[in-house]
Amino acid sequence: MANGQGFSIDQEIITVKNLKHLCGIGADEMIAQLIDSRLQPLQEAQVVTLKDGAQFFTMASGSEKALIDMSIITSVLALTISLISLSYTYMSSRETSASDAVKSSYSIFLDMAKIEQQNSRIMHVFTLSNTYPSVVAKVKLATKDLTLAERSQLVLAERSLAEYIFTTFEYSLYEHKVAVDFHDNAKAQFLKEVLDYFTARLLRNPRLLYYWDKKGGGLSTLYEDWTNAYYDSHVLHDKQLPLLENPDASGPIQQN
């Protein structure tokens, strides 16, 4: 029969070798059976069952290798496509992650700016150390006529604001740690810049130094050990940027 054409036979069980002989198939040809929509090459010693619907095809010797090779090629192509898709998803995820970090951090800083605008009498807590003295002088003037109860209320708000800043610092530190652990370099780099702003500038505010101090406001006890360790090495004991500021234990509100 012509190569690739189907054929049938009346016997039910037969070896492939006998099947070839009965059908007049040459020694240089092979028989393949269609199983689950795939051609499976058959060895001459195999026994096959001839039942209704069974389909067999002749194929040139060596074609079974081509079938195997095509299977391997198909698998490699599928793997390659999967890897390309995974790489694209990975890169897109990284870009989104870094973008989200920027949005999140600036959202926090915008909230800080709003709080500062709405609470001008405690804006000294947001002030960097180089302008702290002049801002403190203005806050003293603005609060000089307040009653003791009003001052106490402002001090409570001041402490709450300090805690908000420290919590934001720990949140940024945790996000940076996760980014480093997952090798998200773009996000980690941006968050390191955020942390540098905290440790080199904002957290050196004299009033914030007091509130963090265990012997002062004691707020450092509310935060994780790794947050305290990072604060100690990057604020209190940074050899490259030594701390020059001193804690302000009383603040401008209580000094009136």
Residue 78 lies in a domain: no
Per the structure, the count of domains in the chain is 2
Task: Please check whether residues 119 and 211 belong to one and the same domain.
Answer: yes
pLDDT band at 80 (very low <50, low <70, confident <90, very high): low
Q: What is the pLDDT of residues 115-145, one digit of tens each?
A: 777 888 999 999 999 999 999 999 999 999 9
**Taking a C-beta distance cutoff of 8 angstroms, is the pair 39, 64 a contact?**
no
Residues 103 and 221 both lie in one domain:
yes
**236 and 114, same structural domain?**
yes
Express each pLDDT in 143-181 by its tens digit. 999 999 999 999 999 999 999 999 999 999 999 999 999
| pLDDT classification of 225: cutoffs 50, 70, 90 | very high
- What distances in angstroms separate CA 118 from CA 113, 123, 157, one per listed residue? 9, 9, 12
Pairing of strands 38-42, 13-15: unpaired
Give me the pLDDT at residue 98, please.
Answer: 59
Same domain, 39 and 99: no
Q: Does residue 38 form part of some domain?
A: yes
Average pLDDT over the chain reads: 80
* Domain co-membership, 118 together with 243: yes
* DSSP secondary structure letter of residue 10: S
Verdict on whether the full-model pTM lies above 0.75: no
Average pLDDT over residues 50-77: 58
Query: What is the end-to-end Cα distance of the chain in Å, rounded?
Result: 111
Say whether both 133 and 237 belong to one domain. Answer: yes
Q: Is it the case that residue 4 has pLDDT exceeding 90?
A: no
Report yes or no on 80 lying in a domain. Answer: no
Q: Distance between CA atoms of 188 and 181, rounded to whole angstroms?
A: 9
User: Which domain range does residue 41 map to?
Assistant: 13-61
**19 and 115 within one domain:** no
**4 located within any domain:** no
Is the same domain home to 163 and 243? yes
Answer yes or no: do 101 and 150 share one domain.
yes
- What pLDDT, on a 0 to 100 scale, did the predictor assign at position 1? 40
**Coil/strand/helix, residue 78:** helix
User: Which one, of 68, 142, 136, 147, lies nearest residue 126 by Cα?
Assistant: 136
Q: Does residue 150 sit in the same domain as residue 45?
A: no
> What residue spans of 119-249 are helical by DSSP H?
132-143, 148-181, 185-200, 206-212, 225-231
In a domain, 188, yes or no: yes
Would residue 246 count as lying in a domain? yes
Asked whether residue 1 is domain-assigned, the answer is no
Specify whether 113 is located in the same domain as 215. yes
Question: In sequence order, what are the residues at sequence separation of 6 or more whose Cβ sits closer than 8 angstroms to the Cβ of residue 209?
Answer: 203, 216, 245, 246, 247, 248
